Amino acid sequence: MDWQTFLSKAGYRLSEPRKTIMKLMETTEKPLNPLGIHRLLREQGVHLGLVSVYRTLELFLSLGLISQVFQQDGLVGYLPSSFGHHHFIVCQNCQKAVEFAGTEDMQDLIQRIRAETHFQVREHLLQFFGLCPECQSLLKDGEKQ
Amino acid sequence: MDWQTFLSKAGYRLSEPRKTIMKLMETTEKPLNPLGIHRLLREQGVHLGLVSVYRTLELFLSLGLISQVFQQDGLVGYLPSSFGHHHFIVCQNCQKAVEFAGTEDMQDLIQRIRAETHFQVREHLLQFFGLCPECQSLLKDGEKQ
DNA sequence: CTCGTTGCAAACTCTTTGCAATAAC
DNA sequence: GTTATTGCAAAGAGTTTGCAACGAG
């Protein structure tokens, strides 16, 4: 089911701003934040209130249509997400982000945490940071680590 | 080496505000943010400019004396951290956070990500959310999942 | 005594709220 | 036509900056 159908079935309207924002998000590989989306659309000549961007992102997030992406110092933006669990690796140089598949590997760790802390484990936030192939090449001379 | 020695050796002064803030952070088990620290100290009769709290946290973070703690919707605060890598599990009900030990389990996953995405993996953000033992008891009747 | 550090006020940025106008269904 | 959604303006929250006064070393 595509996102438009999903939105309708959930009782929300398929407005122009929502279509515009989702279209933009689907064509970007870098996490976008509200201000960024607003600026990008302006540059494309699309007029759209900043408030609507906030409200649209809030809605999409609550429906799981997009996911939050973090850098090491906090939330940097949003990206469209397939259903289920979402993990990204984000380039520290250009912020390009790629989603990677699930985490069966996680079960052992979860068991250990349960034993160590006696917490009931319910969710997790897992994200990697590194260099995308392009930036690896760019940085070959210099600070290559 | 304790944090005070560490601070001195790094060329920073051991001021009263810094001592006060670190003392507070060492005695809490819930992540604290700037405003929270400011409020708590006021309640204890300690007067301290909010700006100084910000600057102190910034300094401590840059020195690795404290770590950032996230909830699913972003940064919620800071906690003191031992050196090296820091992972927390945070209670979704009361925000109590506990640090747990490293992540050897991570190497397989990192290999897989490298193969899947061709990113060079350099850092990661891993945090768990759940219920602490106390809140598990409290919530036994009701929304226990 | 010197210079890093603090505190205040003010500026700034980001985000949220209220309400009338608009447009999706 | 009805009701969700938008856009504006204004309020609110959190964070940063400039600068004079202070205090740790």
Residue ranges covered by each domain of chain A: 3-144
Helix (H, G, I), strand (E, B) or coil at A15: coil
- The pLDDT tens digits for B14-32 are 999 999 999 999 998 889 9
Name the nearest CA neighbour of A70 among A135, A22, A128, A122.
Answer: A128
Buried b (16+ CB within 10 A) or exposed e, B94-130: ebbbbbbeeeeebeebbeebeeebebbbeebbbbbbb
Note the pLDDT tens digit of each residue in B45-100. Answer: 999 999 999 999 999 999 999 999 888 778 989 999 865 567 889 998 888 989 88
A43-52, A135-144, B23-32: which range is least confident on average?
A135-144
Distance CA A22, CA A80 (A): 8
Quote the tokens at residue B10.
């790094």
| Predicted confidence band of residue A103 (pLDDT cuts 50, 70, 90) | low
Answer CATH for B3-144 from 3.10.20.90, 1.10.10.10, 3.30.1490.190, 3.30.910.20 = 1.10.10.10
- Specify burial of residue A75 (Cβ count, 10 A radius: 0-12, 13-18, 19+): middle
User: Collapsing DSSP states into helix, strand and coil, what is residue B35?
Assistant: helix
Asked if B133 has any chain A CB less than 8 Å from its own CB, the reply is yes
Tokens of A46: 């699309």
Interface of B with A in 74-113 (CB under 8 A): 74-75, 89, 91-92, 98, 100-101, 103, 105-106, 108-110, 112-113
> Which band of pLDDT confidence, cut at 50, 70 and 90, is reported for residue A84?
low
